[in-house]
Amino acid sequence: MKFKSLTDRFSLSNGTKIPCVGFGTWQSANGQECYNAVLSALECGYRHIDTAEGYGNEESVGKAIKDFLATGKCSRKDLYITSKLHNNFHSYDEAKAAIEKSLNDLQLDYIDLFLVHWPNPIKTRATWQKSNAEAWKAMEEAVDNGKIISLGLSNFQQHHIEELLKTARIKPVVNQIKFCPGISQPEVVKYSRSQKMVIEAYSPMGTGAIFGNEQMTKIARNHNKTVAQVCIEYVLQNDILPLPKSVTPERIKSNTEVFDFELTSEECKIISELKDTGIVPPRNPDEITF
């Protein structure tokens, strides 16, 4: 599917829709910089903002959303806000409290999408299956109570998903993973899609290392585009939802200008097969130390 604007949407398996590009806030510390970045993104036309309890910036994100809504340029129903469950809160009671804290910090009546950030954090490693099931139950109750609209996953591999689905009453609609030039995680993508999940790509530019790659630079020049714009379009052409992040207003705006060109199949092949990009591979979720 060829998207034409930031407000075009992917359809989710629960009947809701999600804007095709989201604004990422990972590594944007709580404070004025994050506030300014989110406000700039909303001014540029983003309607999908992705944050997490673990990013430590929900308060700044929430303030920016509140101040933008006060301008009357859009309504709450036009926005799509995602947050994620912190690794320390995988019991039923902890997850329930964490959801309330996210709602409070974001100053929202409901969160559009709430994800389990990691499937196997160090705190609950010995009981990760049971802990995920408990946290998911709390998330499902939040859906029942109108505090969350949709539920999803982040960094989950097939065996994590299979365990969760044994007890889940509400099915996940998203799996957010690392997907960028040279990193495609095909097994995770294939299985997640078999379970009717949309794939989201965090770090679609690989946290910056890709900008010095000669092949990417050449492809960008072919289209009179930036390397960042090529990365975002590459993700979209793989039918995956990108979450680009920046704190620079000019780059935030530039990253929205990706709907007026298309990569060739050969260019996509080159990008998918890139080696030695300097991009850090995705962490093994069963070996993380946080």
The residues carrying an active-site annotation are 55
Distance, CA of 84 to CA of 96 (rounded, Å) = 12
Distance, CA of 181 to CA of 184 (rounded, Å) = 7
Under 8 Å between Cβ of 222 and 1: no
DSSP state of 255: T
**What token pair was written down for 98?**
């964490």
- Please give the C-alpha separations between residue 7 and each of 3, 142, 181, 233, 259, in angstroms, as whole numbers: 9, 26, 24, 15, 11
Distance, CA of 23 to CA of 10 (rounded, Å) = 15
Helix (H) and strand (E) counts in the chain: 10, 10
Nearest-CA neighbor of 172 among 146, 133, 204? 133
Distance, CA of 238 to CA of 228 (rounded, Å) = 16
**What token pair was written down for 87?**
């690794």
Distance, CA of 236 to CA of 258 (rounded, Å) = 9
**What token pair was written down for 217?**
């630079």
Under 8 Å between Cβ of 16 and 150: yes
Distance, CA of 232 to CA of 210 (rounded, Å) = 12
